[in-house]
Structure 1
Amino acid sequence: MDGVDAAEERGPARVRNELTAAVVDVLQESATVRQPVSRDLWLTMLGEELASPVEAFTGDTLRPWLLGMVEKCSSVRNGLSCLVRSLGYVEQQSPSVMDLWRLVDEWEAVEFFDGADLHVLRPVLQSVGPKGLTALARRASRSRTQELPLWCDTAWQVFLRLAGANSARGELPASLAFLALVADRFVEEGQPVSAELLRRWNRVQARDWGLDDEMTQWQRTEYVPPSSSHVPAYLMIQFEPDGMDPARYYLSHWRQSDSEGWHPVPGDTVHLHRDDLPGEVERLVEQAEEKWADLRQPVILEFILPWELLNEPVEWWHKESDSASPTPLVMDYAVLVRSLERLRRASWHRPWHNKWRQLREQPADSHSHWSRPGQDESYFFHLERELKEDQGAVCLVLSGPPGDGTGVGDRELLAGLRSGVPAVIWHRGDCADPAFKDAVSEILQDRGLGSLVERTAKWRNQALALGPQGWDSHVGRHLAILLDDPERRPGPPGPPRAPLKT
């Protein structure tokens, strides 16, 4: 009896019962589940995720209660995902949470394949390690899957993850396309037996689903590698004040590499001391580079900063700081800052959208506004009035840096944010520096501001060329650019209060 026939011996009920038991096995090993206080916190969050209260554990034996709770969650749409996500709010990326996500993917794959026993594929697919899996997943999903979660470290986990992924009418499902690609890889590596097992399973599934033509078309279609895209990838990093301790922040991040649309992938939220932010940013940049090793697009770093950090020279923070020659972020990336306050203040969004449309749709009629504060208090009022009346004013040049103690730069920036100006430029130390005025005049010579990022990068590169001993004397070292696209927004950062990072 071959592997495909053997798989039919395990019926759908047994497959689901074994998965339920496996989920409970993992939960029983979780410190959160074993301890009453943390368990209650988890159950509260789970009830909120499910929009239905969860019965607390009051008995003597934990396993029967867990079995019942898993059964309840599995009967609700996305219920098991809610279970794991709420546990992740307490434990973050613990081994238990990773194992549970693997089981959730398997559960959903079993449902997608109508209760089929998939274990005949497991040993073959688990022999394929993480190298190259993201590229195969992108190709199998027609680029709908841009990244793989951390727990997808074998071809088995990727197959489970892709099962049920959206496919257009007339397309081979991504999971079957992935198996075909892995089979081709086995052939190339001289493993014909493994390749034939996958192909046979695929043929049976395609026949049962009436997808013979789609399978044939997939196999006959010549793969054309994606061309280099000019649409940038983004790593967005957000610092949110703790609200209680002024020295601590919640750091969230998102990765966006889909050149066909805006689909940012959220990461964890961590709670850090102000002094630890640069180190965490360095870790996130390195992590993104590992995930994007085969990416052909340029990469932009965006920092979503609260008011008190807007003048922080984040583009000069380092990567590879453990080496003898750390590299400033600005050497490898275009770095922009954005305003957390504007992102969160919905009442500022209408003029923001209007000014952005002006910049995008009528670039020839767009221009910058240079702040020149007068001597009386009314200047700031009239600055905001003029910016709101002049729809073509899409860039504001500050006369002083925010946070310098004078309040001038802060109030000018506030006027700009309220009036919807999407671009703001300033010198982090001295906006009256003649070199700064010359640099900004050159940067803004394109009325449409279409080359704002590129021209700013040119001045920063001139500073880099002087090296660490000389770049502080160059204006490019001190240029700050806030560029806010209201259509390019991150998703929710997760729980409002993430656990402390240890």
Structure 2
Amino acid sequence: MTVAGDREVTGVEGRSPARVRNELVAEVVDVLQQSNAMRNTAGSDLVLRMLGEELGAPVELERSGMLRTELLQLVERCAGFPDGLSVLVRCLTYVEQQSAAVTALRRLVDEWEAVDFYEGADLHPLRPALLEMRSRAALMAMARRASRSRTQELPVWCDTAWAVFLRLAGDNAAANELPVSMAFLSLAADQLMEDGKAEAAEELRRWNRKQALARGLEDRMAEWQHTGVALPPPSLVPAYLMIQFEPDGVDTDRYFLSHWRQSDAEGWHPVPGEPVHLHRDELPSEVERLVEQTEERWSDLRQPVVLEFILPWELLGEPVEWWNKESDSTSPTPLVLDYTVLLRSFERLRKASWHRPWHNKWRRLKEQPANSSAYRNRPGSSHFHLERELKEDEQAVCLVLSEPPGGDSPTSRQEFEAGLRAGIPAMIWHRGDCSDPAFREAVADIVQDRGLGSLLERTERWRREALAVGPEGWDNHVGRHLAILLDDPERRPGPPGTDHAPVQR
């Protein structure tokens, strides 16, 4: 029995804290016994070496020929370190990647931490009802509400309300708020009531009431039940789906597609997805699948969504904005109908020596848009003089290209790289012919003299005009062929401050 403040916390129904802990240890060992790495000496030695390095203390198995006994000792040893079981699973992941054993262990580590948060309480009375709740969209919506939008993503192994409850246990809540997992449990009970499962709902509420009473949280529980489903007003900060195409490096027709989802309105915390290795012809269909999957994850999101494509040189000519959604239907629609779509430079993300001027030019565009200007490159002009003039002109933050990039023309490549080296964050071009009079007219509107604060909005207006013409005529409208690169150095894959786009293999 433990004490919280001046109140005793028991919270145990049936199983003592010691039994709860021992049974969890046994479950962890059960899974480790199914691990390919831990069943052979070479694999287990590798895991143990990495484990010892991360824990800062050597970890060895006493080889007795009885694997279960050896693994029991290993788990007990790890449990003696703060986050020791999490480190064990992480080291096993290095060797086995996303194996069934790793997924099962992640759920058990979440349960271990939840039991610790609830000070040895028996959580199993909650399992039957929570295991039946499996709607991914509903689970994500409840997690966002319970955390007051601080939880933006759930790991893939959180596929039931039981797994989500365990994951949320111990998540930070403000001093005057109900713990996130208890708020989630309250929402789960409400959902069960709506589904006509009153007995299961009452089981969750009874457990929650006991915890609230034991922890002195009765007032917070009552307040949550009165106002807990209220959400903050919709954020004006967009959510971003960033999609990166990295050249294979060997096969010129293959790419590594990586992606990151960012929906945290309070900060930049992009969540990486699983990378895939694809032929160039497969990229549009994979993007379509990824967008649909992201929409399912974000079904309750109330923010606008921006798609950003991080493209290498050879794909800059791809009309990614006009790739299809719903292509298996009788009336597919282009991405640009539903999203703001931006291009970014893969090469610039990777080349840290170009980043200082990039930051400087971006600050000018962001902080002084009215004093920013566009530079229209002249056909046949020297790329050296172009770069010199862009660097000398502090107000120049946008480059209108004289040739479309992405092709075999050395002139277009030199022009584009001059803009990157000068730190120009915005570039505009016509994907077919930059000398087209209709393009010059559109550019005159987009980069008009009063500044570049509405650069994106004006580009989108031309695209909307093309959409209004419809599929039968939009190929003849300049808005169908406008491309805009708008590269924000403060918004990159990975955590703030990384100099390179991470490689996911």
TM-score by length of 2: 0.87
Query: Structure 2 counterpart of 1:235, which letter?
Result: L
**1:240 to 2:243 alignment:** no
CA distance in 1, matches of 2:273, 2:384: 40
Instruction: State the Cα distance separating 1:456 from its structure 2 match.
Output: 1.8
Residues 237-265 of structure 1: CA deviation (Å, up to 9, x unaligned) = 11222334333322211111222332222
**1:274 to 2:280 alignment:** yes
**1:21 to 2:21 alignment:** no
2:489 corresponds to = 486
Instruction: State the Cα distance separating 1:92 from its structure 2 match.
Output: 5.2
Indicate the SS of the match to 1:489: coil
Query: Structure 1 counterpart of 2:103, which letter?
Result: M
Indicate the SS of the match to 1:261: coil
Gapped runs of 5+ residues in structure 2? 1-8
Query: Structure 2 counterpart of 1:171, which letter?
Result: E
Instruction: State the Cα distance separating 1:215 from its structure 2 match.
Output: 2.3
**1:214 to 2:217 alignment:** no
Q: Residues 57 and 415 of structure 1: is their aligned pair in 2 closer, same or farther, counting only changes over 3 Å?
A: farther
Residues 322-341 of structure 1: CA deviation (Å, up to 9, x unaligned) = 33433322222111111122
- Aligned partner of 2:15 among 10, 14, 36: 10
CA contact (8 A) 2:10 2:121 kept: no
CA distance in 1, matches of 2:484, 2:64: 59
Instruction: State the Cα distance separating 1:73 from its structure 2 match.
Output: 4.0
Instruction: State the Cα distance separating 1:367 from its structure 2 match.
Output: 1.2
Instruction: State the Cα distance separating 1:174 from its structure 2 match.
Output: 0.4
Query: Structure 2 counterpart of 1:491, which letter?
Result: G
1:197 corresponds to = 203
Instruction: State the Cα distance separating 1:220 from its structure 2 match.
Output: 3.6
Q: Residues 280 and 64 of structure 1: is their aligned pair in 2 closer, same or farther, counting only changes over 3 Å?
A: farther
**1:250 to 2:256 alignment:** yes
2:265 corresponds to = 259
Residues 83-108 of structure 1: CA deviation (Å, up to 9, x unaligned) = 44455566555443332222221111
Q: Residues 33 and 204 of structure 1: is their aligned pair in 2 closer, same or farther, counting only changes over 3 Å?
A: same
Residues 361-405 of structure 1: CA deviation (Å, up to 9, x unaligned) = 111101111111445xxx222211221222211111111122322
Q: Residues 56 and 418 of structure 1: is their aligned pair in 2 closer, same or farther, counting only changes over 3 Å?
A: farther
**1:297 to 2:300 alignment:** no
CA contact (8 A) 1:112 1:164 kept: yes
CA distance in 2, matches of 1:238, 1:54: 39
CA contact (8 A) 1:27 1:33 kept: yes
Q: Residues 314 and 33 of structure 1: is their aligned pair in 2 closer, same or farther, counting only changes over 3 Å?
A: farther
CA contact (8 A) 2:11 2:121 kept: no
Indicate the SS of the match to 2:243: strand
Q: Residues 421 and 495 of structure 1: is their aligned pair in 2 closer, same or farther, counting only changes over 3 Å?
A: closer
Identity %: 67
Q: Residues 266 and 222 of structure 1: is their aligned pair in 2 closer, same or farther, counting only changes over 3 Å?
A: closer
**1:169 to 2:175 alignment:** yes
CA distance in 1, matches of 2:425, 2:287: 25
- Aligned partner of 1:316 among 299, 306, 322: 322
CA distance in 1, matches of 2:79, 2:237: 40
CA contact (8 A) 1:269 1:494 kept: no
Indicate the SS of the match to 2:365: helix
CA contact (8 A) 2:11 2:122 kept: no
CA contact (8 A) 1:186 1:195 kept: yes
Indicate the SS of the match to 1:175: helix
Gapped runs of 5+ residues in structure 1? none
CA contact (8 A) 1:401 1:410 kept: no
**1:441 to 2:447 alignment:** no
CA distance in 2, matches of 1:188, 1:345: 54
Deviates more, 1:424-433 or 1:12-21: 12-21
2:6 corresponds to = none
CA distance in 1, matches of 2:335, 2:59: 46
2:144 corresponds to = 138
2:162 corresponds to = 156
Q: Residues 446 and 248 of structure 1: is their aligned pair in 2 closer, same or farther, counting only changes over 3 Å?
A: same
1:454 corresponds to = 457
- Aligned partner of 2:402 among 375, 399, 404: 399
**1:113 to 2:115 alignment:** no
CA distance in 1, matches of 2:283, 2:40: 31
Instruction: Write out aligned runs for 1:11-90 (5 A).
Output: 11-31=16-36, 33-34=38-39, 60-88=65-93
CA distance in 1, matches of 2:503, 2:73: 29
Instruction: State the Cα distance separating 1:438 from its structure 2 match.
Output: 1.2
Query: Structure 1 counterpart of 2:305, which letter?
Result: V
Deviates more, 1:86-95 or 1:318-327: 86-95
Indicate the SS of the match to 2:124: coil
CA distance in 2, matches of 1:87, 1:276: 32
CA distance in 2, matches of 1:41, 1:467: 59
1:473 corresponds to = 476
**1:127 to 2:136 alignment:** no
1:361 corresponds to = 367
Indicate the SS of the match to 1:276: helix
CA distance in 1, matches of 2:290, 2:148: 27
- Aligned partner of 1:386 among 384, 389, 399: 389
Q: Residues 404 and 207 of structure 1: is their aligned pair in 2 closer, same or farther, counting only changes over 3 Å?
A: same
Instruction: Write out aligned runs for 1:394-433 (5 A).
Output: 394-433=397-436
Instruction: State the Cα distance separating 1:30 from its structure 2 match.
Output: 4.1
CA contact (8 A) 1:108 1:163 kept: yes
CA distance in 1, matches of 2:464, 2:42: 54
The CA RMSD measured in Å over matched residues stands at 3.0
TM-score by length of 1: 0.88
Query: Structure 1 counterpart of 2:131, which letter?
Result: Q
Indicate the SS of the match to 1:235: strand
Indicate the SS of the match to 2:293: helix
Query: Structure 2 counterpart of 1:7, which letter?
Result: V
- Aligned partner of 1:100 among 105, 120, 133: 105
CA contact (8 A) 2:258 2:504 kept: no
Q: Residues 326 and 314 of structure 1: is their aligned pair in 2 closer, same or farther, counting only changes over 3 Å?
A: same
Instruction: State the Cα distance separating 1:430 from its structure 2 match.
Output: 1.6
Query: Structure 2 counterpart of 1:114, which letter?
Result: E
CA distance in 2, matches of 1:108, 1:100: 12
CA distance in 2, matches of 1:51, 1:278: 46
CA distance in 2, matches of 1:454, 1:54: 58
CA distance in 1, matches of 2:88, 2:450: 52
Q: Residues 15 and 290 of structure 1: is their aligned pair in 2 closer, same or farther, counting only changes over 3 Å?
A: same
Query: Structure 1 counterpart of 2:297, which letter?
Result: K
Indicate the SS of the match to 2:125: coil
CA contact (8 A) 2:359 2:423 kept: yes
